[in-house]
Amino acid sequence: MKKLTGIWLPCMALAIATACSKKKSDTYSESTNGNDTTGTVVTPSDPPVAASIGFFMDGWAARNFTPPDFTEMAAPAAADDTVTVDASSIVTKISPALFGNNSNLYMSQMVTAPVLLNHITNLHPGIIRFPGGNLSSVFFWNAAPGNHPADAPGQLPDANGNSTDAGYWYGGNTADWTLSLDNYYSMLQQTGNEGMITINYGYARYGTGADPVAAAAHLAADWVRHDKGRTRYWEIGNESNGTWQAGYRIDPSQNKDGQPEIVTGDLYGRHFKVFADSMRAAAAAIGSTIHIGAQLLEHEPAYWATATDKTWNSGVLQQAGNAADFFIVHSYYTPFNTNSNPPEILASAAAVTKAMQDHVKASVTAAGVDMKPIALTEWNIFAVGSKQMVSQVAGMHAVMVLGELMKNKFGMASRWDLANAWDNGNDHGLFSQGEAASGETRWTPRPAFYYLYFFAKMLGDRYINATVSDSTATINAYASTFSSGEVSLTLVNHGAMARNVQLDFKNFRPGSRFYWYVLTGGDGSGFSRKVLVNGNGPAGIAGGPDNYASLKAYAAAAQQGIRVALPPMSVVFMVIDKS
């Protein structure tokens, strides 16, 4: 729901070859000063790929760390808290599909914006979803403006049954303010990313032909054929349970196959199988493999929810649970249209992510179907009123969400979205559209961009556990290892006080040096529109440093222990050399 206006070889350094046959508890010792030089480091085994990740792990590749250029810094002499990084076991290899984003149909042709393309290339989200959100339900991929199918009516009922203009969108529209299908494909090729396509399910509901489901499924299969194997991941519909979605309610007097006025999960599940059969046959005919996702709700419906929502998951899973290749959920983490404060926003990352995973698993178990990979194909925050979405807090939240997605073994995720609309700062866009009221030039990256960029830059390829001895509970830690042997650690201080942190390790011997970037808000406010990276900030009133890709890391010698300072409301991305 959103607005128009509004890495990867075996882990850890190899030590004595015979150590691998010993019990792990006999072959390493825990550091007490952050610089263990006596224990034997062993290579833990990779765990099986979780069913909730599945084929989204297929693009995994080993990552080797190359030390960045750096500025020598002094580490703190003492620490308030200790973070213990446990490299004795691997939680999961990190899915490369977790870092995606969303394009949309109102953010320009993209390929005409070299500044934007350069930022997307640098960020490398991996997957960019199209055509974007609610508009998927009124999008005709192969049509020019005004040339929608004859059986797509000019008016559609809204949630209350009132007739409104259908407002169709078209893949053949080449106007500069929209995004054509051809330019979407071109953007992916130019930036080195791949796509995820959301099929128009609404047409199966509001189509007035003799068999609207077959017509919509055939249109989807034609897109698969036209795609020619470029896209692996396909969704059937977007938030089709929602009262705001085209196809939620139809005019039964215009329907010719006996569909009910209001959609249900059972109906969507039966339709899903028709789409999937047609699309898989089309993929087989052109020799490609595709994965097709079905929509689920990410949480238990409230007592006041619609009847559609209350039976959505059970209906979808009973009809299509084993026919789907993956399950789709969306979350905007914070309460809708609420002026949430920083602690409320940041606390949602861990709580909501785990709750989503638990709810999907419970729904699947209750339906008696097999667990499938989970794709969070839209996520952001719904906090409004204080420019939360364009602030450094949104960036901190993004880092924490990605860490929690790894911990909870999600397969795929794509943040909403690359660009949206200012709406007095209630703007989900990672980049500015350049509206005068924002004070930004077009395609200026918002703070979240910098948090996502440095998180990816310093991230390893296997997720491991890290625990914090922080009695004030203001620090979150997310750890990983590189296949070349180094340890990566992301530390989030979401408190109002500075903290000095010391690192201890299990099954890892630090080398001579560690490197880090520290990101903080730029103006001391609760929701800063600026972000500073190692003290470097933007030239304008918002965003971050223009030279982010060439900024030097901080670095310090590790011989006297590994300690780092965390300013209030900061994130530190660090990598520790192996011995």
pLDDT in tens, 478-500: 999 999 999 999 999 999 999 99
Cβ–Cβ contacts within 10 Å for residue 335, how many? 13
End-to-end CA distance of the chain: 49
From residue 161, how far is each of 3, 257, 312, 506 by CA, in Å? 21, 20, 21, 61
Predicted model pTM = 0.94
3-class secondary structure, 39: coil
- Residues 454-489, buried b or exposed e (16+ Cβ, 10 A)? bbbbbbbbbbbbbebebeeebbbbbbbbbbbbbbbb
Are the C-beta atoms of residues 332 and 380 closer than 8 Å to each other?
A: yes
**What is the residue whose two structure tokens read 């590790």?**
558
What is the pLDDT tens value at each position of the chain, 579 positions in all? 444 333 333 333 323 232 333 333 334 444 444 444 456 889 999 999 999 999 999 999 999 999 999 999 999 999 999 999 999 999 999 999 999 999 999 999 999 999 999 999 999 999 999 998 999 999 999 999 999 999 999 999 999 999 999 999 999 999 999 999 999 999 999 999 999 999 999 999 999 999 999 999 999 999 999 999 999 999 999 999 999 999 999 999 999 999 999 999 999 999 999 999 999 999 999 999 999 999 999 999 999 999 999 999 999 999 999 999 999 999 999 999 999 999 999 999 999 999 999 999 999 999 999 999 999 999 999 999 999 999 999 999 999 999 999 999 999 999 999 999 999 999 999 999 999 999 999 999 999 999 999 999 999 999 999 999 966 689 999 999 999 999 999 999 999 999 999 999 999 999 999 999 999 999 877 899 999 999 999 999 999 999 999 999 999 999 999 999 999 999 999 999 999
Q: Round to whole Å and give the CA distance between 81 and 500.
A: 6
Residue 3: what pLDDT?
41
From residue 440, how far is each of 166, 172, 211, 446, 530 by CA, in Å? 33, 30, 49, 10, 12
pLDDT tens by residue, 10-50: 333 323 232 333 333 334 444 444 444 456 889 999 999 99
pLDDT tens by residue, 455-478: 999 999 999 999 999 666 899 999
Cβ–Cβ contacts within 10 Å for residue 531, how many? 30
Are the C-beta atoms of residues 98 and 53 closer than 8 Å to each other?
A: no
Residue 88 CA from chain centroid, whole number: 28
Going along the chain from its start, the domains and CATH numbers come out as 17-94+459-578 (2.60.40.1180), 131-324 (no CATH)
Among 154, 138, 49, 141, which Cα is nearest to 97's?
49
3-class secondary structure, 520: strand
Among 396, 424, 431, 392, which Cα is nearest to 524's?
392
Q: Round to whole Å and give the CA distance between 311 and 306.
A: 9
Bridge partner list, 420: none
